[in-house]
């Protein structure tokens, strides 16, 4: 029986926006960034999105070539066909997604949060079905600066209380 090996390719994509005035004093914007291949550690800096696409495509092509090694020609054809289908979809969807995000980042964040919420609902439903009981899960939300400050204050108070308890335990230990 052949062992099925799953390969993963993860990428981290960072964008930086540079706003500057040209020699005529008009405002311009330039998008730059960095894409990193998580598993291999390779990364490139870019100013054109095509560079990102080429980098990712090369890494995924390498992964596909590794996957077809030792396969029959029929298996190779099937694997390559499915790989090309993914690239066709990405070539169509990704530029639109990136442009939509640049134009209206709040809308895209809302869409991502909606997708996370939908996945969370499905997972919760499946868990409830398996456990046979209702799960109470709070809505996902990002911590605000006030939440962070409150947590830091509480942690400082807890640290102080623990230090006081440690001193009392040390005194009790010395009395024996």
3-class SS letters over 23-83: CCCCEEEEEEEEEEECCCCCEEEECCHHHHHHHHHHHHHHHHHHHHCCCCHHHHHHHHHHH
Question: In this predicted structure, what is the pLDDT of residue 1?
Answer: 41
Residue ending a domain, among 67, 84, 103, is 103
pTM across the whole model: 0.45
Question: In this predicted structure, what is the pLDDT of residue 138?
Answer: 53
Contact by Cβ (8 Å): 39, 20: no
34 and 77 fall within a common domain: yes
| Average pLDDT value for the chain | 77
- % of the chain residues with pLDDT over 70: 74
In a domain, 4, yes or no: no
84 and 21 fall within a common domain: yes
Mean pLDDT of 44-58: 85
In a domain, 65, yes or no: yes
H or E, element range at 17: strand 11-21
In a domain, 84, yes or no: yes
59 and 121 fall within a common domain: no
Contact by Cβ (8 Å): 140, 120: yes
Quick one: DSSP state of residue 132?
Answer: T
65 and 145 fall within a common domain: no
Structural domain containing residue 116: 104-155
70 and 119 fall within a common domain: no
Higher pLDDT, 145 or 40: 40
21 and 93 fall within a common domain: yes
Q: Count of domains in the chain?
A: 2
Long-range contacts of 140-144 (CB under 8 A, 24+ apart): 140/113, 140/116
Q: Cα(64)–Cα(58) distance, rounded to whole angstroms?
A: 10
Per-residue pLDDT tens over the stretch 116-143:
667 667 666 766 666 666 655 554 455 6
Per-residue pLDDT tens over the stretch 62-93:
888 887 888 888 888 887 777 777 767 776 77
DSSP assignment of 103-120 equals H-HHHHHHHHHHHHHHHH
């Amino acid at each position: 029986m052949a062992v099925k090996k799953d390969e993963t390719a993860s990428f981290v994509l960072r964008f930086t926006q540079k706003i500057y005035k040209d020699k005529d004093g008009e405002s311009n914007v330039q998008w730059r960034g960095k894409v990193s291949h998580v598993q291999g550690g390779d990364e490139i800096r870019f100013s054109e999105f095509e560079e990102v696409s080429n980098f990712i495509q090369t890494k995924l092509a390498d992964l596909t070539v590794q996957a077809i090694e030792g396969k029959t020609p029929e298996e190779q054809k099937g694997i390559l066909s499915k790989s090309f289908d993914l690239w066709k979809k990405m070539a169509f969807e990704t530029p639109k997604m990136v442009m939509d995000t640049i134009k209206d980042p709040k809308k895209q964040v809302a869409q991502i949060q909606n997708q996370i919420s939908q996945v969370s609902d499905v997972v919760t439903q499946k868990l409830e079905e398996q456990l046979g009981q209702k799960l109470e899960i709070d809505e996902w939300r990002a911590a605000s600066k006030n939440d962070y400050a409150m947590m830091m204050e509480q942690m400082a108070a807890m640290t102080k209380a623990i230090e006081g308890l440690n001193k009392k335990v040390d005194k009790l230990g010395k009395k024996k």
